[in-house]
A and B are shown apart, each in its own frame.
Chain A
Amino acid sequence: MRIATTNPATGEVLKSYEPMSTEQLDAAIERADLAFRDLHRTTVAQRGGGWAPPPTCSTPSATTPPG
Chain B
Amino acid sequence: MTTEMGKTYAAAQAEVTKCASACRFYAAHAERMLADEPADARAVNATRAFVRYQPIGPVLAVMPWNFPLWQVMRFAAPALMAGNTGLLKHASNVPQTALYLEDLFRRAGFAEGAFTTLLVGSDAVDRILSDPRVRAATLTGSERAGRSIAQIAGRELKKTVLELGGSDPFVVMPSADLDRAAEVATTARCQNNGQSCIAAKRFIVHTDVFDAFAERFAANMAALRVGDPMDAGTDVGPLASSGGRDEVHAQVRDAVDHGATVLCGGEKPAGDGWFYPPTVVTDLTPQMRMWTEEVFGPVAGLYRVSSYAEAIEVANGTAFGLGSNAWTTDPDEQERFATDLDAGSVFVNGMTTSFPELPFGGVKNSGYGRELSALGMREFCNTKTVWVGRGEASAGAGAHAE
The answer on A and B forming one complex is: yes
Number of A-B residue pairs with CB-CB distance less than 8 Å in the complex they form: 163
Task: Evaluate contact between B116 and A31: CB separation under 8 angstroms.
Answer: yes
Task: Tell yes or no: B153 within 8 A of A by CB.
Answer: no
Within 8-58 of A, Cβ neighbours of B (below 8 Å) are at: 8-11, 14-15, 17-20, 22, 25, 28-36, 38-40, 42, 44-45, 47-53
Specify the chain B residue showing the minimal Cβ separation from A50: B27
Task: Evaluate contact between B131 and A29: CB separation under 8 angstroms.
Answer: yes
A contact patch SS: mixed
A: number of interface residues (CB 8 Å): 46
Task: Evaluate contact between A49 and B113: CB separation under 8 angstroms.
Answer: no
A1 contacts which chain B residues (CB < 8 A)? 92, 121-122
- The verdict on A44 contacting B34 (CB below 8 Å), with A17-B119, A32-B133, A35-B113 known, is yes
- The verdict on A48 contacting B83 (CB below 8 Å), with A25-B124, A30-B133, A31-B112 known, is no
Q: Which of B6, B28, B111 is close to A39, meaning CB atoms less than 8 Å apart?
A: B111
- The verdict on A10 contacting B31 (CB below 8 Å), with A5-B95, A40-B55, A44-B81 known, is no
Whole-angstrom CA separation of A53 from B28 in the bound complex: 8
A43 shortest CB reach to chain B, Å: 8
- The verdict on A8 contacting B83 (CB below 8 Å), with A31-B116, A49-B109 known, is no
Task: Evaluate contact between B83 and A15: CB separation under 8 angstroms.
Answer: no
Task: Evaluate contact between B87 and A40: CB separation under 8 angstroms.
Answer: no
Task: Tell yes or no: B58 within 8 A of A by CB.
Answer: yes
Interface residues on B, range: 35 or more
Specify the chain A residue showing the minimal Cβ separation from B108: A65
Q: Which of A29, A30, A51 is close to B27, meaning CB atoms less than 8 Å apart?
A: A51
Q: Which of A11, A15, A20, A39 is close to B120, meaning CB atoms less than 8 Å apart?
A: A20
Q: Which of A9, A29, A47 is close to B238, meaning CB atoms less than 8 Å apart?
A: A9
Task: Tell yes or no: B114 within 8 A of A by CB.
Answer: yes
Contact stretch, chosen from B159-167, B239-247, B298-306, B307-315: B239-247
Given contacts A29-B128, A36-B113, A45-B31, 16 further A-B contacts (CB under 8 A): A4-B95, A5-B96, A14-B3, A20-B120, A25-B120, A28-B113, A29-B58, A31-B112, A32-B85, A35-B114, A36-B85, A39-B84, A39-B85, A39-B111, A51-B24, A51-B28
11 contacts between A and B (CB under 8 A): A6-B241, A10-B272, A28-B118, A33-B85, A35-B110, A39-B55, A44-B81, A47-B30, A49-B27, A51-B23, A52-B28
Question: Which 10 residue pairs of A and B lie closest in terms of their CB atoms, listed nearest first?
Answer: A35-B113, A65-B109, A31-B113, A51-B27, A8-B6, A48-B27, A32-B58, A40-B83, A8-B238, A33-B133
